[in-house]
Amino acid sequence: MTAEPSAELLDRALIEEAAKKSGLLWVRRDGGRDRALWHAWVDQAVVVVGDGGEQPLGDLGTGLDVVVTLRSRDKWGRLVAFRAHTELLAPHSEAWQAAVDELKGKRLNALDHDTIADRWAADAQVLRMVPQGPSVEHPGAMPDVAHAAAPAPTGATTREPIPAALPRLVFGRKRRGAS
């Protein structure tokens, strides 16, 4: 007879599988806004690269406690959220190299794919987010409130109304009876 896996092991397995299968996660500092980031899973932690021409990390840095939310790959809904502690990886360290090797495979549209590690070492930050404790949300323990948020403030605007001809261009002209 085999022993049942503990709740902690099942929780860690859910976090790992969700992180491996999802290409996008949300990170939030206490009291802050959720920030969507692409990521990779390396050595039992989530790693992200940002700034220096990559995704903006904003106020994320080393030594922070954050909440990381992962979605289900098939349904795209919230699957699991967990607390994590951030660590800034030193360029060219062993942990940094392992993270960069995995992240390079996820960064498919980089123009400088062959030299991207050098650019990241010079200009970007590679953060590692290590899960801490049990998940705060998981199947069977999800909050009842909606997680919709107002869009982030931006100066972007629409300059003028859409052209009158656009619907015809998009949906095509109505054809008259076939002759």
Tell me if 170 is assigned to some domain.
no
Do residues 11 and 134 lie in contact, with contact meaning Cβ atoms separated by under 8 Å?
yes
Tell me if 81 is assigned to some domain.
yes
Write out the residue range of the structural domain in which residue 72 sits. 7-146
Q: Give me the pLDDT at residue 94, please.
A: 93
Residue 69 buriedness (CB in 10 A; 0-12 / 13-18 / 19+):
buried
Q: Give me the pLDDT at residue 159, please.
A: 73
Tell me if 163 is assigned to some domain.
no
Question: Residue 137's domain is classified under what CATH number?
Answer: 2.30.110.10
Q: Give me the pLDDT at residue 59, please.
A: 82
Looking at the structure of the chain, the number of domains it has is 1
Higher local confidence (pLDDT), 172 or 173: 172
Tell me if 168 is assigned to some domain.
no
**Single-letter amino acid code for the residue at 71:** R
Tell me if 74 is assigned to some domain.
yes
Tell me if 151 is assigned to some domain.
no
Tell me if 153 is assigned to some domain.
no
**pLDDT bucket at 91, cuts 50 / 70 / 90:** very high
What percent of the chain is modeled with pLDDT above 90? Answer: 19
Report pLDDT digits (tens) over 122-155: 899 999 999 998 877 666 666 666 666 777 777 7
Q: Give me the pLDDT at residue 178, please.
A: 53
What percent of the chain is modeled with pLDDT above 70? Answer: 83
Tell me if 17 is assigned to some domain.
yes
